[in-house]
């Protein structure tokens, strides 16, 4: 599942839904706070160039590796989810885009797939809320996501013809299947059983 997810999610999203999900819009991580919270576990990674300040690194549950790199006077934070499951924030963004497509085109997928996708959205949003920094209330976070869904739905330009194309295209149906079949549900169980702090987004 993860190999499929990482290798094809970006191009498939562009083909299927015409946009790329970016979960960062749902809640930016406060990296300065993260480094303060874990100040006693910061490691220094020396740079080969003596003129460049040393990089600070945190290895957190997941594992998620977060580096603080100085570019001039500005700190840049680089996060890498090194778990075998990949970035939960990316997965959440993809599910939201698919849910918007279903909201717009109810004939895309079966009722069981619609139900599973909504359950996945709820589970992912709870995990994201609990593992972002600072953590947020899961119910309020889900409410914010659903409000965002409605905004996307109203802004959608998908026509009846677009919906027919979506329903009839085998690749698009396979993509939905990959997120709602039994294997996907077991993969999700494993993913959400693996703590990720902080939860991050990049789809790669």
Range 145-168 average pLDDT: 85
Structure tokens at 96: 């939201």
Contact 38/175 with Cβ under 8 angstroms? no
pLDDT for the residue 50: 63
pLDDT above 60 (res 18): no
Per residue in 47-91, pLDDT tens?
A: 776 656 778 999 999 899 999 988 878 888 999 999 888 888 888
Determine the Cα–Cα distance for residues 96 and 75; give it in Å rounded to an integer: 31
Contact 199/134 with Cβ under 8 angstroms? no
pLDDT for the residue 128: 92
The CA-based diameter of the chain, rounded to the nearest angstrom, is 61
pLDDT above 80 (res 24): no
Per residue in 30-47, pLDDT tens?
A: 999 999 999 999 999 877
Per residue in 87-133, pLDDT tens?
A: 888 888 889 888 988 998 999 989 999 999 999 999 999 999 999 99
């Amino acid at each position: 599942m993860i190999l499929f997810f990482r290798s094809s999610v970006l191009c498939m999203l562009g083909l299927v839904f015409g946009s790329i999900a970016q979960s960062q819009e749902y809640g930016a991580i406060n990296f300065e706070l993260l480094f303060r919270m874990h100040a006693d576990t910061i490691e220094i990674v020396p740079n080969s160039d003596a003129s460049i300040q040393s990089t600070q690194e945190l290895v957190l549950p997941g594992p998620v590796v977060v580096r603080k790199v100085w570019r001039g006077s500005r700190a840049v934070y680089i996060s890498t989810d090194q778990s075998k499951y990949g970035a939960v924030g990316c997965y959440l963004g993809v599910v939201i885009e698919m849910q918007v497509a279903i909201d717009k085109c109810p004939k895309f997928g079966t009722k069981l797939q619609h139900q599973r996708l909504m359950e996945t959205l709820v589970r992912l949003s709870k995990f994201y809320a609990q593992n972002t920094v600072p953590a947020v209330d899961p119910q309020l976070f889900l409410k914010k996501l659903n409000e965002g869904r409605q905004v996307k739905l109203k802004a959608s330009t998908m026509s009846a013809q677009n919906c027919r194309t979506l329903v009839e295209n085998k690749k698009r149906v396979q993509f939905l299947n990959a997120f709602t079949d039994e294997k996907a549900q077991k993969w999700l169980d494993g993913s959400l059983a693996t703590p990720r702090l902080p939860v991050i987004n990049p789809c790669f």
